[in-house]
Structure 1
Amino acid sequence: MNFRRGWREDEPEVNLIPMIDVLLVVLIFLMISTQFRQEHGMELQLPLGGGASTSERVHEITLAANGRLQLDGKDLGSDPGATVFAQSLRALRSQGDATLVLAADARIPHGQVMAVLEALRSAGFHRLRVRTRPAGP
């Protein structure tokens, strides 16, 4: 047996270079496997009709495919900023708190629907429903 006098065990070394290499490989893998696509918008599931009816007063605003507005069947023109539309909304507002139902044709551009909604908001209507068609088989 070989016994050495004064033999000391070397202190362990921590070699950081292989650990850094492994971390860089993991980082590159995560960067490549991550999707850099951003979704702008939300996936919506519109509610179906057929809810319980209430005894509150409900008035319907119809926005037809040709852009014409109607309030409870009365023609109001095609401009939501027109005075006829604003006067009709003020008269409706003076009758008390009522719920409005907006029935817009699916072919109407989004901008026209938003103009009607803005006119309703500026007239003081905050209870608004959007009419949808029931899902069929």
Structure 2
Amino acid sequence: MYQRKKRRPVAEINVVPYIDVMLVLLIIFMATAPLITHGVKVELPKMEQSELVESKDAPPIVISINAEGKYFASIGIDPEEPMDAIDIAAQVKLALDKEPLTPVMLKGDGRVSYQEVLLLMDFLKRAGVPSVGLMTESFEK
């Protein structure tokens, strides 16, 4: 009579599928990591009244946007004259070259287009501004 060999159960785990899953996850994380780091660093203001820490040597640079989308800067020849975003970025870059710790604050009208604010922040980022503070009014008024 023919006698079959009894097969012993294999006590090993096949890890190949786990390695495949890990490699796919690694590729996904490597592809999405650079997308997460893009953007403008912004110091969001608190809604309660907070004091602005001012340096005696360098008062903050305040850039304003009115409801029509015109830009104004507290630096330059005439703070009351509207300027282009490129000109403001150039003026801010010159001011930061002289005094690198000068804070830059953005003061926008509530009715101004969000696109205008982002456009100005992009120009400021390209000019080398490390962070931009956003100015608000308190609810008490």
Is TM more than 0.5 here? yes
**What letter is aligned with 1:113?**
V
Q: What's the offset of the Cα at 1:102?
A: 0.2
**What letter is aligned with 2:93?**
R
Q: 1:116 aligns with which of 100, 110, 120?
A: 120
> Which residue does 2:96 correspond to in 1?
93
> Which residue does 2:62 correspond to in 1?
60
What are structure 2's unaligned runs of at least 5 residues? Answer: 1-44
Q: 2:129 aligns with which of 125, 128, 137?
A: 125
Question: Deviations for 1:68-119, whole angstroms, at most 9, x for unmatched residues?
Answer: 1111025342x42x3x223212211212221011000111111110000001
Distance in 1 (alpha carbons) for counterparts of 2:104 and 2:48: 15
**1:75 is paired with a residue of what secondary structure?**
coil
Q: Is the 8 A contact 1:76 1:85 kept in 2?
A: no
Give the TM-score of the pair, scaled to structure 1: 0.57
Query: Rg bigger for which structure?
Result: 1
Distance in 1 (alpha carbons) for counterparts of 2:52 and 2:46: 15
> Which residue does 2:72 correspond to in 1?
70
Question: Deviations for 1:37-83, whole angstroms, at most 9, x for unmatched residues?
Answer: xxxxxxxxx72242134232311000111111111025342x42x3x
Q: Comparing both chains, which one has the higher relative contact order based on Cα–Cα distances under 8 Å and sequence gaps of 6 or more?
A: 2
Percent identity between the two aligned chains: 15
Distance in 1 (alpha carbons) for counterparts of 2:130 and 2:51: 20
CA RMSD, Structure 1 to Structure 2 (Å) = 2.0
> Which residue does 1:48 correspond to in 2?
47
Q: Against the structure 1 CA distance between its residues 114 and 106, is the aligned structure 2 distance closer, same or farther, given a 3 Å change threshold?
A: same
Q: Is the 8 A contact 1:103 1:131 kept in 2?
A: yes
Q: Is the 8 A contact 1:49 1:132 kept in 2?
A: no
Q: Is the 8 A contact 1:60 1:103 kept in 2?
A: yes
Q: 1:135 aligns with which of 116, 125, 139?
A: 139
